[in-house]
Amino acid sequence: MARFAKALNEQIGYEFAASQQYIAVAVYYDALTLPQLSAHFYRQAVEERNHAMMMVQYLLDAGEDVVIPGVDAPQTAFADVVAPVQLALDQERRVTAQISELVKVAREESELVGEQFLHWFLQEQREEVSSMSDLLNVVERSRDNVEQIEDYLARESGGENPLEAGAPPAAGGAL
């Protein structure tokens, strides 16, 4: 298997792990009866899963083998309402670094189509880090009044992400 395809297969595992972590965060907030926070992270979980499926479709289209790796169990217990958002921001920063490394591998391997494919993910990660940073700021300020966090998310969520219109196709379609 080519180096780029192997690295992209590894990233599929990271994306599925991120999806699982976001489900765990959503469940944590759901158990606290924080519907806006839980809905936000359930949506994030679907988005990460779709990122993995976009990578699967790319590999299928390229005639490469697809390996769906297992993932470690996500963190499910948190100290307070701030901790899951901090974990999410750290995760988004880590994924950004992983995607950046994938771009470097594509360049080194002269995988120009692969590099072009990854540009969408770089833009997506910039948006994810920015929005999660904003959410962390709100959560830190409002940790003693979680209803303010819920109000913020009710106001800020729901708009279409313009990046999604140009997203690569995902295996299985838009499930």
- Give the per-residue SS3 of 21-38: HHHHHHHHHHHCCCHHHH
Q: pLDDT digits over 36-75, tens only?
A: 999 999 999 999 999 999 999 999 999 999 999 999 999 9
Tell me, what's the pLDDT at 163? 55
Tell me, what's the pLDDT at 158? 62
Contact 41, 99 (CB under 8 A): no
Contact 158, 122 (CB under 8 A): no
Question: Mean pLDDT over all residues of the chain?
Answer: 93
Tell me, what's the pLDDT at 169? 85
- Prediction pTM value: 0.91
Tokens of 128: 């994810």
Tell me, what's the pLDDT at 161? 55
Domains and CATH numbers, the chain: 3-165 (1.20.1260.10)
Average pLDDT, integer, range 17-39: 98
**Mean pLDDT lowest for which of 18-27, 46-55, 153-162?**
153-162
Tell me, what's the pLDDT at 162? 56
Contact 149, 36 (CB under 8 A): yes
pLDDT at residue 168 greater than cutoff 90: no
Contact 53, 30 (CB under 8 A): no
Tell me, what's the pLDDT at 157? 78
